[in-house]
A and B are shown apart, each in its own frame.
Chain A
């Protein structure tokens, strides 16, 4: 059996508050895949990501990143993961350059390599001019770019993007899409969560729907639409969340 980029089995997560965010999630992502995780707010997307990146502790179940157990062999598992979180969690005291440099240092990258990689990613994400500015002075779009650059600093094999395009303008969204596709073509496996169905359809090889802590559907966008007996991914999603009446397919039907 080939090694999965991400292998999650029977994952449960109950928070101290008693909230059950994940109720037996199983999921497999192949190396090189661009995988989309879709679901309404509060469905468990971020919890699943946090458990994978070591920011939350699973109540039970297993997570393996390229064969490394995320709990038992957390060092190797986390080394393989790059996380660009939903909320820009930047340190206000640091400059743009320091943000990237420290991150790579936390992952054990030697100084010379850090410097080269920093310069390379600053250039890729059009941040070179801002390198000496403190992160708090950056615009929302710049922060998004910096977070993505930071996640890529240590060359993770699995890049996790938690709603990378939430609240960004059209231009930056398209720019980010290009980056994501390019990184994926270069061999990085990507797990992407998004609210934008169009984004998932456009970018992702396979998609999973998550609702109330359970994976309720998985496949290509065409397979999902077929499973729910609807015309599009959006309608499949609406069927999942029980809001079929919102379907835009009706609007396009001729009114007689």
Chain B
């Protein structure tokens, strides 16, 4: 391995090592949470709901849950890890290394991405054991999930860098991210909503992400798949550009 490869691998390894040391909280808890959602909404309520757009309710819900665990875990990991290291001052060790702003940004991003991916895969495996989960469009599913994961990794980095106290991170997750995910149609179809809520849902970016992932699994989407993929790619690229600029300027990282 070259010097740069060793450096990048170590930066990434540190991020993975952090969440693996507290895996009860970072892997176990999200898995349990998703399992509870599947139990309540799938098994208990699902039998009363029946089908949505011709899809068994529990199967309709699971793609959204997988997307939700990928996004929340990517986000939460990066925002907490960066803030924690800023708080302890430990981040100075990486900042005073020869690592470039791009290397630092990617390593922090990949940490949360790895955790999100791990939880999403485990959720998928567990869900497949419980119900018959189809994978209709893998060519859409894989890029959609990767873009979602990367988008939220970037968002986590942004919030972590900006945050000055733990309350800032908790606020973003509880008061912004969670409501957007819940109201983005993980548990229902937007067509079931009365106006103006149906139209308002179309302004929620999470709505498109959930539909993309759902399309990948069950072949049903309430919005244009091509357009959503394009918009998600553009949003992810824009967020990445913002973060790279902040890292290059040393925003709230280097005095």
Contact = CB atoms under 8 A, between A and B. Distances in A.
Given A105-B7, A108-B4, A55 B96 contact: yes
Top-4 shortest CB links A-B: A105-B10, A108-B3, A89-B89, A106-B97
Contact of B93 (A87, A110, A150): A150
A93 B95 contact: no
A84 B100 CA distance: 21
B6 A87 contact: no
A109 B99 CA distance: 13
Most buried by B among A85, A90, A93, A150: A93
A53 B250 CA distance: 13
B92 to A, nearest CB: 5
A54 B254 contact: yes
A194 B93 CA distance: 22
Nearest to B18: A93
Interface in B207-255: 250, 254-255
A64 B97 CA distance: 16
A7 interface: no
A78 B93 CA distance: 11
B192 interface: no
Contacts of B120: none
B98 A79 contact: yes
Contact of B96 (A54, A108, A109): A54
B9 interface: yes
B14 A57 contact: no
A106 B255 contact: no
B13 interface: yes
A179 interface: no
Contacts of B92: 55, 83, 85, 89
Interface in B76-109: 85, 88-90, 92-100
Given A57-B254, A105-B6, A89 B17 contact: no
Interface of A: 15, 47, 50, 53-57, 74-76, 78-79, 81, 83, 85, 87, 89-94, 98, 102-103, 105-111, 150
Given A47-B255, A105-B13, A106-B10, 18 more contacts: A15-B255, A53-B96, A57-B255, A78-B98, A85-B92, A89-B88, A89-B89, A91-B85, A93-B21, A102-B13, A105-B6, A106-B7, A106-B11, A106-B97, A106-B98, A107-B98, A108-B4, A108-B7
Interface of B, secondary structure class, is: helix
Classify chain B's interface size. 20 to 34
A81 B96 contact: yes
A155 to B, nearest CB: 14
Contacts of B176: none
Contact of A102 (B10, B96, B250): B10
Nearest to A108: B3
A47 B255 CA distance: 9
Contact of A55 (B1, B3, B90, B254): B254
B17 A98 contact: yes
Contacts of A15: 255
B96 A110 contact: no
A249 to B, nearest CB: 39
A55 B255 contact: yes
A80 to B, nearest CB: 10
A171 to B, nearest CB: 26
Nearest to B6: A108
Contact of B98 (A74, A87, A91): A74
A212 B29 CA distance: 52
A83 B93 CA distance: 9
A236 B106 CA distance: 50
